Homo-oligomer: A and B are copies of this chain.
């Protein structure tokens, strides 16, 4: 009967699901990725089944488990507490959107969107970020203002670099402010949240590269770039964090049809970076800038921002960097991204790329990239309102997005040697000691005691075995990281007594205390409050780098 079930199920696996092991015609057929390291390299046919299933997660994705999961959850908690501190409310949107909602929002990167198969019905795609669904939500519900945060997975069919935290499925932690407010006030708050978020995660050596789309567009106008060429020249500038100016200039002149003179003029500006004040002063003294309407607007906003960045005490983190362009289409004002020393690719990246062992994973020759980024997008909500036939509406937005996997890869480097984090919350282990011919093992009795603890909210486990020897029970308690043992002694239990014992090496010689079974919950609660007296949460301490 059982084996029949197995056979039936296995035989219902369609031939198309067999791993195409020698496929050459199908593009990017499944090949081992970094994740697949734990899976067998060359699956062998078992006796029972000739069919092969590839036991791995899809390319660019991974399972999260164990202490990694504990650390990542602590990162989420740290960030969501900051978002709540700033008055944020949270929303949850579907993982997929109607395809038309995502269309035309991501420039050249639209090719990285995952589509759902057309199975009859609506055409849908997995979300690429949380910003576009947020703008859709605001437009759909006619929301006039909101501070919202959203921690959720997004999807990009990009080249993965798993150990650098660059994945195809990854979390974004976003805080956005929608609504018409005093200029630069929500923008400054997003920058403050960026600083608070990173410092709370123990990341100290970061800087915020900041620029303004209007200043950048003004520079392009001044330099003689035609309106229709602006975005493609902007995306050339965006490469300056990876490529030298000469390469970018070549792209502008040879591939993107700009004159030598235009490129050189752009080059003068985009080399500028420094504190907000320094670069603001230089640009304010530049008559071409101050006489260009767009650039002047941007410059005035920067002046306003300087006051607020000073009030928040975050100005020292900011580098006003005219080479920052950011790829996304929807930004209209301030743009910014946080980088650390690990963000840039290795110096000999192109050499490493040639030598790379994996064609499926770029970890060997890329950097972590930006660890948080954002900006102002004042037209996106209205774009949805208008395209859906609603009344035109002006709902300016600004936001910040943290890349959790990238942050995780930095945090993990710092604390990877620690063994102090445990994946369970278990505090108490319930054991039974006895022996002799008539010894039942007290399994239902252990269950009764444990249930009392559970009902009082206490994390408790016991060994799933009728008669477990003491050693195995202590081992299990240690593995679960328990602080206290509650012991049912064969005779003691019959007298209505339980033994409560602290666990841990320093209590090895302590036999514990015999207490009334009726008082067990109160006594365990008291012992646990002693254990946790120092009030320090190990994960939080490790994450903060304390």
* A interface residue numbers (CB < 8 A to B): 1-2, 4-6, 8-14, 16-19, 26-30, 38-40, 43-46, 48-49, 51-59, 61-66, 69, 72-73, 81-82, 84-101, 103-105, 114-124, 126, 136-137, 139-141, 148, 153, 155, 157, 169, 177, 179, 181-182, 185-186, 188, 192, 196, 217, 227, 231, 294, 307-308, 310-313, 329-330, 332, 378-379, 382-392, 423-426, 443-445, 447-448, 451, 454-455, 457-461, 464-466, 480
Contact = CB atoms under 8 A, between A and B. Distances in A.
Nearest to A425: B84
18 contacts: A1-B294, A9-B383, A14-B103, A17-B100, A27-B120, A29-B121, A38-B140, A43-B389, A55-B139, A55-B140, A55-B388, A87-B424, A115-B119, A182-B443, A182-B465, A185-B464, A186-B464, A192-B454
Contacts of A444: 307-308, 310-311
A95 B169 contact: yes
A140 B62 CA distance: 12
- Stoichiometry (number of copies): 2
Given A1-B227, A69-B91, A54 B121 contact: no
A312 B11 CA distance: 41
Contacts of A52: 387-389
Given A69-B92, A122-B58, A425 B85 contact: yes
Contact of A96 (B12, B61, B88): B61
Nearest to A307: B444
A447 B313 CA distance: 10
A371 B115 CA distance: 31
Nearest to A390: B40
B46 A63 contact: no
A386 B47 CA distance: 9
Contact of A27 (B5, B30, B121, B425): B121
A407 to B, nearest CB: 16
Given A30-B121, A181-B465, 7 more contacts: A11-B104, A30-B98, A40-B390, A55-B140, A58-B124, A63-B93, A114-B119
A398 to B, nearest CB: 11
Given A120-B28, A384-B53, A169 B94 contact: yes
Contact of A379 (B6, B30, B56): B6
A49 B55 CA distance: 49
Contacts of A101: 53
Contact of A461 (B44, B87, B455): B87
Contacts of A389: 40, 43-46, 52
Contact of A2 (B105, B139, B332): B332
Nearest to A185: B464
Q: Which 4 A-B residue pairs are closest in the complex by CB-CB distance?
A: A17-B100, A43-B389, A181-B464, A12-B104
A69 B151 CA distance: 13
A100 B310 contact: no
A18 B387 CA distance: 10
A120 to B, nearest CB: 4
A332 B5 contact: yes
Nearest to A464: B181
B181 A447 contact: no
A91 B66 CA distance: 7
Contacts of A64: 91-93
A392 B2 CA distance: 14
Contacts of A121: 27-30, 59, 157
Contacts of A155: 95
Contacts of A177: 464
A117 B120 contact: no
A104 B9 contact: yes
